[in-house]
A and B are shown apart, each in its own frame.
Chain A
Amino acid sequence: MPVKAHRLVIELSPSCLVVTRFDAGVVADVASARFDTPLSGFTPSVLDGIRATLEGLLAELRVQGSDTQATVILSGPGAAAGAHSSPAGVTPGGAIHSARLSLEAICDWPLDNAPVGVLPIARDRAGKSSLNQLHLVAFSINPDVLEAVDGWVTAAGLTFNGALPSDAVRIYHAVAQALKSGACAEDRTDAVLHLDSTAGLLVATKSGSITLVRPITIGLEALVDALLRPIRPAPDAAQTVAIPRGQAERLLRSVGIPTPDAVVPLDPPVRGTALLPALQQVLQRIGIEVKQSLRFGLSESDRAGCTLGIAGMGASVPRLGTVLAGLVGAPASASAADDEPIGIAETLLSLPIARHVLLPVEQVERRTRQRVRTAAVVGGAMALSLVAFNFASDRSLLTSSQTQLDALSAASKQAERTAEAQSTAIAARIAMDGLAGRIDSTLSSGTDWPSFLAFLARTKPDAVKFREINCQTEREGSTARLNGYVPWSEDRTASDTVRSLIDTLSQCPLVQNVRLGATSKSLTADGESLAFEVEARLEPFWKSPVAAKASGEHRSVAGVDGEARP
């Protein structure tokens, strides 16, 4: 039953095709196929020819579904990678630019429209006798090859995740491992040969700094191929033994490079001397490449104490390091076979370079456009949301502030009106005070003559008869002139009656003084009488009841007599 794999790594080289299925980052299954005839290149027609092979491997791995992402590791023509080192003082941009320039030198296609990756790996650890450098890996794939691989993977029903040159993975891993290793003693040079199935990489370090990075074009596949040749068990044996590829691969991992006396468990068992001639040619080629690289990459003094170790898949081949060290003429150093990953696919997924796979330019542009468009939409939506939030927030605040302002405005207007009314009341009160004062002074200036006459009528002696009462209000005062008479009676008390009248008037508090004028005896209708004239001067300010009433009303209104008002 087919299962959906989350991720595939396809190793494509002219000689073989290896598909590794990963589940949750762990190698779940591996399937491989070897081409009888090495591929001439990675053109669409060539890749169409091996589509069936790929589909067969996918079926073997039970992989199906377009949601399975496949990353391709390319080895061979059309894929190039190189290590580059720049002084640490150079800016990152300058280091990347120089790495790109160095990549151009090893690529046989223009890089202008080609996908290129330049990735910093690590810096040297600062040492006393070495130059501190930044190491980068630059890699590129021919755009035609990349498009062909894209189409090939997509046609197999997979999602093309990108491709990387196998050298790029190897360089990144080797350099990172070399710098990560703490075994680099001061003033000692260590060379490590990273050997994979198809190629290798030689890295030399000194005092914690990378001093040499050179690719080795021969891999473990060459040793396996050497074991596939017919083997003569003994020099005088008539028949030869042929080892199948699988058995040869297992033999290489189990026996490695045998000693001449060693018994190799074949059927029939053979001695090491039977295998060594075939292996020796490949080992010589590797040794020569390593030796030449060290000769051209290291100084003579550095070469003198240089040790050689094996890493990568080559570390799992017994005695390979010892034999190669002997061929190179350098002491062998211990290899860390147990710590090394099994294959380049697993190596890739453990490195940051896996996130920098190469894609066809159009696809990159399409993805970039998609991302930019998505970013624009998301950013626009967020900006609009922010604007809407600000709008809603401001609107809410505006409503509450407007309500507050309305209340304050109303209170302000009310206060203005109150102040205006207050000033109006003050002005009106002043005016009313003036009016009341005028009324007071005007009406108080006269004399209440009716009251005086009433008083006179009420208090005069009964015998007194008035012929004329003349009341005058003059500027200097009020004067009442009484012209009357008292009938002359037998008791002859008329004069007393007149005197009584004068006394009565004098005792009146309203009267200032009373003056008796002419008196004479005259004949009246009542007979003989005593006529008299009396002049009474009244107090000048005798407030009339009307005036008092009017003044009281107005003064009360104006607040003069009442309680204090604002």
Chain B
Amino acid sequence: MSRQPKRNLLAECAIAVLVCGAAQYFVAQPVSRSLAAVRDRVTQLGATGAGGVTGVDARAVSGLIDDIRSAADRIDERNAVLRGPSALLDELTRAAEACSVKLVEVRPLQTVAIEPKPDPAAAAASAVPGAPPPAPAYRDLRSTCHLTVQGSYGAVLAFAKSLSEQIGFTQVASLQVTPAGDGPRDAVLAQMQVHQYQFDTQPVRRATANAGHTPPRSAASPSMQGVQP
């Protein structure tokens, strides 16, 4: 066969081979590679047991977290009494009016942090030399307030009871009842020292923060207030 036709023939064959090769390389192989990658990924996911988590009700877990948040919200609502002196005075005035006693004196004494305890995990981390001291895991506060009210014995009792039941976390630490010098004959003068507690819900907030659901209703934190340690 002469050279030119042979060259033409070889060129035509080469073009055919190149076209087939290009089709295989640029069209079929990428799909094959993608398919292999997807199959590997499917195999990996199948081997790791993706989707095989059983025995856990995701809704129940989510509901539990929401319940815990709600409980923390309720605690924060009770904590809100100590948000400021005016709030406490408002609450006391409202309670006194409800119980028909005369609020003679309200004297806040001091606010202290109670029993700050370090986080066990942070404490373990602090064992490393050079590590900063562990921060307390929570910071509960106790405010002490001196109250003097005047009214009938029953009204004073009702007022004292309403303090514990209706105004945050309040505890009547001491109570002195004496007959009132003035006023009605059965009037008594009661001097009370009450403790009002604010419990730090931040550990619960931090624990539930990753769940990414309902944001906390109240961000009141004891650490945000002026506190005498």
Contacts of A429 in B (CB 8 A): 64, 68
Report the minimal beta-carbon distance from B56 to chain A, rounded to whole angstroms: 5
Contact pattern, B 139-164, Cβ under 8 Å of A = 1, otherwise 0: 01010000000000110011011011
Contact A554 B51 (CB under 8 A): no
Report the minimal beta-carbon distance from B48 to chain A, rounded to whole angstroms: 8
> Does A446 make an interface contact (CB < 8 A)?
yes
> Does A471 make an interface contact (CB < 8 A)?
yes
The CA-CA distance from A401 to B19 in the complex, in Å, is: 29
> Does B176 make an interface contact (CB < 8 A)?
yes
Interface positions of A from 394 to 432, Cβ below 8 Å from B? 394-395, 397-398, 401-402, 404-405, 407-409, 411-412, 414-415, 417-422, 424-425, 427-432
> Does A523 make an interface contact (CB < 8 A)?
no
Report the minimal beta-carbon distance from B123 to chain A, rounded to whole angstroms: 15
Task: Select which of B32, B74, B161 is within 8 A of A450 by beta carbon.
Answer: B161
Task: Select which of B50, B140, B163, B207 is within 8 A of A430 by beta carbon.
Answer: B207
Task: Select which of A391, A405, A472, A557 is within 8 A of B28 by beta carbon.
Answer: A391
Contact B164 A394 (CB under 8 A): no
Task: Select which of B46, B163, B176 is within 8 A of A469 by beta carbon.
Answer: B176
The CA-CA distance from A448 to B161 in the complex, in Å, is: 8
Contact B32 A390 (CB under 8 A): yes
Chain B residue nearest in CB terms to A444: B171
Contact B140 A442 (CB under 8 A): yes
Contact B20 A383 (CB under 8 A): yes
Given contacts A421-B211, A432-B71, contact A411 B50 (CB under 8 A): yes
The main secondary structure of chain B at its interface with chain A is helix
Contact A473 B174 (CB under 8 A): yes
> Does B229 make an interface contact (CB < 8 A)?
no
Interface positions of B from 13 to 51, Cβ below 8 Å from A? 13, 16-17, 19-20, 23-24, 27-28, 31-32, 34-35, 38-39, 41-42, 45-46, 48, 50-51
Contacts of B173 in A (CB 8 A): 446, 473
> Does A94 make an interface contact (CB < 8 A)?
no
> Does A379 make an interface contact (CB < 8 A)?
yes
Task: Select which of B1, B142, B154, B169 is within 8 A of A439 by beta carbon.
Answer: B169
Contacts of B179 in A (CB 8 A): 467
The CA-CA distance from A553 to B38 in the complex, in Å, is: 50
Report the minimal beta-carbon distance from B144 to chain A, rounded to whole angstroms: 12
> Does B57 make an interface contact (CB < 8 A)?
yes
Contacts of B171 in A (CB 8 A): 442-443, 446, 544
Task: Select which of B177, B199, B211 is within 8 A of A453 by beta carbon.
Answer: B177
Interface positions of B from 170 to 190, Cβ below 8 Å from A? 170-179
Contact pattern, A 50-94, Cβ under 8 Å of B = 1, otherwise 0: 000000000000000000000000000000000000000000000
Task: Select which of A384, A417, A553, A566 is within 8 A of B74 by beta carbon.
Answer: A553
The main secondary structure of chain A at its interface with chain B is helix
Task: Select which of B23, B62, B177 is within 8 A of A384 by beta carbon.
Answer: B23
Task: Select which of B20, B170, B200 is within 8 A of A387 by beta carbon.
Answer: B20
Contacts of A379 in B (CB 8 A): 16
> Does B128 make an interface contact (CB < 8 A)?
no
Task: Select which of B45, B58, B174, B203 is within 8 A of A431 by beta carbon.
Answer: B203
Interface residues in B, total, Cβ within 8 A = 83
Contacts of B23 in A (CB 8 A): 383-384, 387-388
Contacts of A545 in B (CB 8 A): 164-165
Report the minimal beta-carbon distance from B205 to chain A, rounded to whole angstroms: 8
Contact A468 B164 (CB under 8 A): no
Report the minimal beta-carbon distance from B114 to chain A, rounded to whole angstroms: 7
> Does B208 make an interface contact (CB < 8 A)?
yes
Contacts of A301 in B (CB 8 A): none
> Does A356 make an interface contact (CB < 8 A)?
no
The CA-CA distance from A387 to B30 in the complex, in Å, is: 12
Given contacts A468-B177, A557-B68, A566-B60, contact A365 B1 (CB under 8 A): yes
Contacts of B64 in A (CB 8 A): 425, 428-429, 559, 565-566
> Does B225 make an interface contact (CB < 8 A)?
no
> Does A449 make an interface contact (CB < 8 A)?
yes
> Does B210 make an interface contact (CB < 8 A)?
yes
> Does A466 make an interface contact (CB < 8 A)?
yes
> Does A240 make an interface contact (CB < 8 A)?
no
The CA-CA distance from A431 to B177 in the complex, in Å, is: 40
The CA-CA distance from A407 to B52 in the complex, in Å, is: 12
Contacts of A544 in B (CB 8 A): 164, 171
Chain A residue nearest in CB terms to B74: A553
Chain A residue nearest in CB terms to B213: A421
Given contacts A419-B53, A425-B65, contact A369 B5 (CB under 8 A): yes
Which of A21-29, A370-378, A529-537 is found at the contact surface with chain B?
A370-378
Given contacts A394-B32, A421-B62, A469-B176, contact A438 B138 (CB under 8 A): yes
The CA-CA distance from A405 to B38 in the complex, in Å, is: 7
Contact B20 A401 (CB under 8 A): no
Contact B50 A415 (CB under 8 A): yes
Chain A residue nearest in CB terms to B13: A376
The CA-CA distance from A449 to B45 in the complex, in Å, is: 64
Chain B residue nearest in CB terms to A394: B31
Given contacts A395-B31, A412-B50, A431-B204, contact A402 B38 (CB under 8 A): yes
The CA-CA distance from A394 to B39 in the complex, in Å, is: 11
Residue with the highest number of chain B CB atoms closer than 10 Å, among A422, A466, A546: A546
The CA-CA distance from A414 to B158 in the complex, in Å, is: 53
> Does A368 make an interface contact (CB < 8 A)?
yes
Task: Select which of B12, B56, B60 is within 8 A of A376 by beta carbon.
Answer: B12
Chain A residue nearest in CB terms to B137: A434
Chain A residue nearest in CB terms to B44: A408
Question: Can you list 12 A-B pairs with a CB-CB distance of less than 8 A?
Answer: A365-B5, A387-B27, A390-B32, A391-B28, A401-B35, A409-B50, A425-B64, A434-B203, A470-B177, A473-B173, A557-B70, A565-B60
Given contacts A442-B197, A558-B68, 13 further A-B contacts (CB under 8 A): A369-B1, A384-B19, A401-B35, A422-B56, A424-B208, A435-B138, A435-B199, A443-B197, A448-B164, A449-B174, A450-B163, A453-B175, A566-B57
Closest 3 CB pairs of A and B: A411-B51, A412-B50, A450-B160
B residues lining the A interface (CB < 8 Å): 1-2, 5, 9, 12-13, 16-17, 19-20, 23-24, 27-28, 31-32, 34-35, 38-39, 41-42, 45-46, 48, 50-53, 56-58, 60-62, 64-65, 67-72, 74-75, 78, 114, 137-138, 140, 142, 153-154, 157-158, 160-161, 163-165, 169-179, 195, 197, 199-201, 203-204, 206-208, 210-211
